[in-house]
């Protein structure tokens, strides 16, 4: 008996192949993508690479490093994951860029950067990778600060006293706070480090009292027309406000950025309202400016309430 022929498609191929599962390509691993990125940056810095990339130095890239960090924060707040991933990539590129420049001058490589943070995370989490234990996050942070202090002391003993004075270098729990940070972030980190070893307010009420005290001292300095004292007391008041933010678990830098954005929105809204009335905002008397500010504020709050109701 003749075996029946398999049904052929118009192009002569077996119809079963039409339903065959497509061959899946192996997805590149994070490590492979990272190596590709490192290779790209090395090519850009090569003699036949990009003139702009070849001109850059650690110093010239400082602004971009800061800008990219803030753009990551903005993308995070937007809730747009695609934008968040994109900006995180831009920030990662800055790390690769600096490492490539350092490698070219014989300083360090990207492998050194990764190894340092890998070993540090193992070392500072003995409750996970070692034999110690931590009952809660507060104890984790206390241990973290203690380990950091021990690391700094060990480095100081290994390199000698950089100041040139006799005797061992004095190590402080605050040594890890960079003076290059924005002032609000520096104050935030200083008070956070102090709080981790118990030097902190019992409640927010104490900080509010401190802010009131600093405000009164600032007022006194203003009345005495003592400009250096005014600057000092204003700094104390700002520091107390930063400390309050830290106590309330609010990043003061981010909070202030949001306040800046809110002021900008409302100011632009006032300008628009004035133009719609046929006048320039800058030419209005102060009383009308205040009225427009209140109107812009009410309008914005009304829109926010409407949006909140729409989500219900």
Q: Read off the tokens for 33.
A: 């993508």
Length, in residues, of the chain: 312
What does the alpha-carbon distance between residue 100 and residue 50 come to, in Å, rounded to a whole number? 14
The SS3 assignment for 118 reads: helix
Which residue would you say has higher pLDDT here, 181 or 120? 120
pLDDT(245) > 50: yes
Q: List Cβ<8 Å contacts ≥24 apart for 284-293.
A: 293/266
Q: Which one-letter DSSP state was computed for residue 8? A: B
What does the alpha-carbon distance between residue 237 and residue 217 come to, in Å, rounded to a whole number? 9
Whole-angstrom CA distances from 294 to 83, 257, 282, 288, 306 are 34, 21, 17, 10, 18
Q: For residue 273, give the nearest of 252, 286, 291 by alpha carbon.
A: 291
Confidence category of residue 163, pLDDT binned at 50, 70, 90: very low
Across all residues in the chain, what is the average pLDDT?
A: 87
Which pLDDT tens digit goes with each residue over 145-162?
A: 888 878 877 777 766 554
What does the alpha-carbon distance between residue 106 and residue 270 come to, in Å, rounded to a whole number? 56
Q: Which of 100-104, 176-180, 212-216 has the lowest mean pLDDT?
A: 176-180
- DSSP H or E stretch at residue 98: helix 81-104
pLDDT(304) > 70: no
pLDDT of residue 296: 92
Mean pLDDT along residues 85-101:
97
Which pLDDT tens digit goes with each residue over 17-76?
A: 555 566 667 788 999 999 999 999 999 999 999 999 999 999 999 889 988 998 998 899
Q: For residue 197, give the nearest of 153, 147, 145 by alpha carbon.
A: 145
pLDDT of residue 19: 56
Which residue would you say has higher pLDDT here, 116 or 175? 116
pLDDT of residue 162: 46
pLDDT(108) > 70: yes
Q: What residue spans of 124-226 are helical by DSSP H? A: 126-129, 137-159, 183-196, 204-223
């Amino acid at each position: 008996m003749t075996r029946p022929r398999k049904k052929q498609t118009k192009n002569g191929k077996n119809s079963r192949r039409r339903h065959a599962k497509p061959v899946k390509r192996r997805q590149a691993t994070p490590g492979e993508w990272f190596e590709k990125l490192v290779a790209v940056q090395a090519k850009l810095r090569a003699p036949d690479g990009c003139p702009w990339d070849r001109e850059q130095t650690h110093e010239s890239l400082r602004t971009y490093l800061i800008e990219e960090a803030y753009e990551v924060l903005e993308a995070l707040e937007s809730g747009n994951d695609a934008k968040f991933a994109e900006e995180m990539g831009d920030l990662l590129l800055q790390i690769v860029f600096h490492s490539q420049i350092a490698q070219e001058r014989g300083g360090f490589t990207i492998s050194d950067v990764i190894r340092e943070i890998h070993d540090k995370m193992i070392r500072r989490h003995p409750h996970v990778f070692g034999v110690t234990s931590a009952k809660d996050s507060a104890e984790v942070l206390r241990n973290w600060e203690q380990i950091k202090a021990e690391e700094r002391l060990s480095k100081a003993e290994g390199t000698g006293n950089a100041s040139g004075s006799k005797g061992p270098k004095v190590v402080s729990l605050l040594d890890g706070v960079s003076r290059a940070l924005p002032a609000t972030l520096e104050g935030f980190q200083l008070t956070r480090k102090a709080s981790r070893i118990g030097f902190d307010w019992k409640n927010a009420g104490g900080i509010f009292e401190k802010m009131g005290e600093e405000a009164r001292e600032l007022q006194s300095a203003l009345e005495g027309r003592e400009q250096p004292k005014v600057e000092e007391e204003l700094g104390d008041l700002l520091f107390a406000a930063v400390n309050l933010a830290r106590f309330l678990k609010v990043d003061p830098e981010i909070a202030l950025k949001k306040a800046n954005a809110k002021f900008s929105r409302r100011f632009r809204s006032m300008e628009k309202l004035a133009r719609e009335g046929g006048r320039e905002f800058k030419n209005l008397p102060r009383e009308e400016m205040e009225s427009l500010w209140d109107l812009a504020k009410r309008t914005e709050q009304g829109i926010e309430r409407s949006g909140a109701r729409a989500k219900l």
